Amino acid sequence: MEVMFKVFLVYGWWGLLGIAVCIGLFFLAKFFLKKISTNVSTGLEQVGKNLTNEITKQNQTLIDTMIT
C-alpha cells in the first residue's frame, strides 16, 4: 500500500492507472496462456488418436494381405 501511495505522490492518478493496467494485462496474459495451452494439448491428443487409428488400419491391412 505504501508503494502505491508513493506512486500516487510522484505520478498522480496516471501512475495508479498504469499500475491497474499492468495488473490487468498480467491476468489477461495468464488467462490466454491457460487457454492456448489447453487448446494445444487437446489438439495433440486428437492427433495421437488419429495416428493410432491409422496405424491400426494399416496393421489390419498388412495382416489381411499376408493371410491371402
Residue-wise pLDDT for 33-56, tens only, equals 999 998 889 999 999 999 999 999
Q: According to the model, what pLDDT value does residue 47 have?
A: 94
pLDDT digits (tens, 9 = 90+) for 4-17: 788 888 888 888 89
Would you state the cell numbers that stand for residue 64, as one nine-digit string?
A: 489381411
Rounded average pLDDT over 29-33: 94
Helix axes 2-11, 13-67, angle to 10 degrees: 120
Would you state the cell numbers that stand for residue 41, as one nine-digit string?
A: 494439448
Q: According to the model, what pLDDT value does residue 36 have?
A: 92
Give the span between the Cα atoms of 54 and 60, in whole angstroms: 10
Q: Which residue has the cell 490466454?
A: 32
| Ramachandran angles phi, psi of 29, nearest 5° | -65, -40
Q: According to the model, what pLDDT value does residue 4 have?
A: 77
pLDDT for 1 beyond 80: no
